[in-house]
Amino acid sequence: MRNVYTAMHAKSYSRSFNSIVISFQTLELEMDTYSGLLSEMLSVAQTMVNSQHPDSKTISNKQETLQAQMKKLQKAANERRLKLIESMQKHEYFAESTDFEKWIDDAVVVAMSEDYGHDYEHLLVSCFKLTSKNV
């Protein structure tokens, strides 16, 4: 469990965002599976403790340790999920703002154009360009 916890806090710059999200989703699925196994183990451990197994104290301590580690892992996963969502929102914002800046640059060129057409046909072509850029 320590390796998984450490891996969750590692900053991964070399992989694409999609692969980071996919590996995190895989981790969440694994955590869900192991959480079920931990519940089953808790039931077995509780049965052994209740039947006064000779190692009941050791079994109880081990189970408490496992539960604490799983809780720590779940907390770290939740924090990681929130940071991934924040990161995704930031990247989407910057992508959209870049597109918007490009649109503004194009619109400024059209709006500041001094071209009024040398003749009627040229004027129609200029008007068509102006309306097609605004669509």
pLDDT tens readout for residues 83-131 = 989 988 888 898 899 999 999 998 888 778 776 666 777 778 777 776 7
Specify burial of residue 45 (Cβ count, 10 A radius: 0-12, 13-18, 19+): buried
Count Cβ atoms below 10 Å from residue 80 Cβ, excluding itself. Answer: 16
Residues 133 and 107: beta-carbon distance below 8 Å: yes
Better-scored residue on pLDDT, 59 or 13: 59
In whole angstroms, give the CA distance from residue 101 to residue 104. Answer: 5
Model's pTM, two decimal places?
Answer: 0.63
High-pLDDT (> 90) share of the chain, %? 50
Closest to 72 in 3D by CA, of 35, 40, 25: 35
